[in-house]
Chains A and B, each alone.
Chain A
């Protein structure tokens, strides 16, 4: 029996955005990463091809993070004390991008030195996050931005309380920004408007809708992403940005991933569970429209990468 498959016809599409610049484009990256450009809900190839596949960033820190799970300590080992080496190992583990988190201990000089060392250790495009305190963020991100002019880094994290300085320096130095709003379609739009109103070109904004881990709020993040994508396809210009989410950060905060002892027997093997926690959080977000997932464990990276290949080559 012939069947007519109902197809959605959309007026809008997601903007395609490129991160990183090669020497031809004024940077030093060996390759760039392009995300976005979608014209359908995720991976519905019967409506239109997915022009750019979602990519994986591996999260590293400027200093060895003492509060990370021992499972992450075990897998990254000594590399954690040297961001350049950590970045190199991340590239080997299959990362498409590196997400480098600076810490409150970093002076502006430290920050610049560390970012440069990471840039020379790997050819991958780079995301750089401030320590997450408004004043500190501005203090380290501005010199980093200036010292890496033209590299097309992603600078973050811009939130409603603190975006002006980061956006201004990114604009002046040819970088992109990560715009984070707390799991709300309207707040995301609002922040994107504020950032564009400053004059930031639209192809240099990546939207971070905020997410929660499996069991700790993922249901909200999952649906907010679907709603943002639907709004964008319906033609709402201020939601037509690719999305970045941080399932690694969220999943490794949970007790299920962090703690190996004194937990219910029904939770099973610690290491396998922790990796499932991160992987499943990431897969759900990929299904709901993530363009960049930031992960921590190499095994999760391998599994999510494999899943993305299957989704893209259907």
Chain B
């Protein structure tokens, strides 16, 4: 855990020589505790103190990075229990489990690898594959021929893991999983290949013992399988492990976790995965490649991991949709990403050309911005003038979102010479409105 200013002070020379440009060592220590200065500004810190300070600065939940050729996934390094306290940083990796022995292995992996879905302008996909090593020594090669994403290898046969990892040279792969019976041999394989080792046990005590043994054998990068028979038990363990790491700085459990969503049946898979996403999992492994399930899971993950301090926004400006011409309609909306894309996707999908004026509403939705006074006649008029809309169009007519129909009179006053129309409330109804009402 991070040291307090006083604790840091005790590790400094306490000579108040001022070379760090602070009047006293204590003042410098306070700044260090607040992470506003670098330790290197003091030339006189002893090696021993440096070591202690570095240890205390280590993240309470170790940052784990899975790498393949050109792709990388980072998990861990989290600092809070609740997202409003700061934010959750590294999204849990979503992995699809496949069997090495599956005759359709290449086909299945290729299909899932190609999966891509767009949510408010961002492309999402799954992060990698978890290969169950049940025979077929060539599986890694097969998988590598169709995907560049990071891998998890599931198996307890050290020899099979060793030979498979040899086919994945230069990568950083996760091995699942060492338990009390095989941790020595698996730790040796992990060490040899610089792999990450998942460790499992059925209690936090046993798990902590195991991670220490694995660490003593030379493996630093680990991932925890917390066990647990159902949602409730896993929630308890996940909360306890996170608290121990963050609040007690308990290093033996300071690692990201892995969770298998289909462990109690495919009908529970989506629900299990969603709890894992909201409650601290580092890796979520699913068994079903179903876009109708993966899309909502990816959206949930995005929502939980957005920074609660700042809404996702788009740049205010005038956006051209489907190559508008001077007589195409001018639509007005706000710069909240979800709002912008709801409108832009609808219009784009309809094939109808339009100018979309995105006002600076400080990243708020239409009604939120309206209620907060960030989307009013003045701001709308300012956007129309500021983005030189007049020069682009031949027909001076704008369309307001239906939810802010009340603004139309004021907008007319602010924009003399412009015709103001009120559109439908929901973006889904825009294309029909554009076809039938605007012409």
Report whether chain A binds chain B. yes
Interface segment, A86-94, A103-111, A166-174, A221-229? A221-229
**CB contact between A313 and one of B82, B208, B232 (< 8 Å): that residue:** B232
Nearest chain B CB to A56 CB, angstrom units: 14
* B248 contacts the other chain (CB 8 A): yes
A197 to B132, CA, bound (A): 62
Query: B77-88: contact bitstring with A at CB < 8 Å (1 yes, 0 no)?
Result: 000001110000
A163: Cβ under 8 A from any B Cβ? no
Q: Is B271 touching A303 in the complex (CB atoms < 8 A)?
A: yes
Kindly list chain B residues whose C-beta atoms are within 8 Å of the C-beta of A5.
204, 240, 243-244
Interface centre among A2, A273, A283, A304 (most CB of B within 10 A): A283
Q: Which of B208, B290, B299, B308 contacts A1 (CB 8 A)?
A: B208
CB nearest neighbor in A for B228: A314
Q: Specify the main secondary structure of chain A where it touches its partner.
A: helix
- Chain B residues near A259 (CB-CB < 8 A): 428
The reply to whether A44 and B239 contact each other, CB–CB distance below 8 Å, is yes
User: Given A214-B300, A223-B82 in contact, is the A44-B295 Cβ separation under 8 Å?
Assistant: no
CB distance from A44 to the nearest CB of B (A): 6
B167 at the interface (CB under 8 A from A): no
Segment from B7-15, B217-225, B273-281 that makes contact with A? B273-281
Q: Is A311 a contact of B231 with CB atoms below 8 Å?
A: yes
Tell me if A283 and B274 are in contact (CB < 8 A).
Answer: yes
What secondary structure prevails in chain B residues at the interface with A? helix
A6 with B247: in contact, given A46-B240, A227-B84 (CB under 8 Å)? Answer: yes
A141 interface hit (Cβ, 8 Å): no
Residues of chain A at interface, number, CB under 8 A = 54
Report B222 CB to chain A, min CB distance, Å: 16
Binary CB contact string for chain A from 131 to 148 against chain B (1 if under 8 A, 0 otherwise): 000000000000000000
B230: CB under 8 A from chain A? Answer: yes
A215 on interface, CB distance cutoff 8 Å: yes
Give residues of chain A (266-314) contacting chain B, Cβ–Cβ below 8 Å: 266-270, 272-273, 276-277, 279-280, 283-284, 287-288, 303-304, 306-307, 310-314
1/0 per position for B404-437, CB-CB distance to A under 8 A? 0000000000000000000000001000000000
Q: Which chain A residue has the least Cβ–Cβ distance from B296?
A: A276
Instruction: From the candidates A214, A264, A307, name the one contacting B117 in the complex (CB within 8 A).
Output: A264
Pick from A3, A268, A279, A313 the residue with the most CB of B within 10 Å.
Answer: A3
What is the bound-complex CA distance between A120 and B212, given in angstroms?
63
Q: How far is the CA of A314 from the CA of B227 in the complex (A)?
A: 13
Is the CB of B292 closer than 8 A to any CB of chain A? yes
> A267 vs B298: C-alpha distance in the bound complex, in angstroms?
11
**Closest beta carbon of chain B to A270's beta carbon, Å:** 8
**Are B296 and A273 in touch, CB under 8 angstroms?**
yes
Residues of A within 8 A of B239 (CB): 44
Q: In whole angstroms, how far apart are the Cα atoms of A246 and B290 in the complex?
A: 27
B291–A268 touching, CB < 8 Å: yes
Does B297 touch A at the CB level, under 8 Å? yes
Please report the C-alpha to C-alpha distance between residue A279 and residue B269 in the assembled complex, in whole angstroms. 12
A273-B296, A311-B235 provided; 17 other pairs, C-beta below 8 A?
Answer: A1-B209, A45-B232, A214-B303, A215-B338, A219-B304, A223-B82, A265-B291, A266-B117, A266-B291, A268-B291, A268-B292, A273-B293, A280-B271, A287-B278, A306-B271, A314-B230, A314-B235
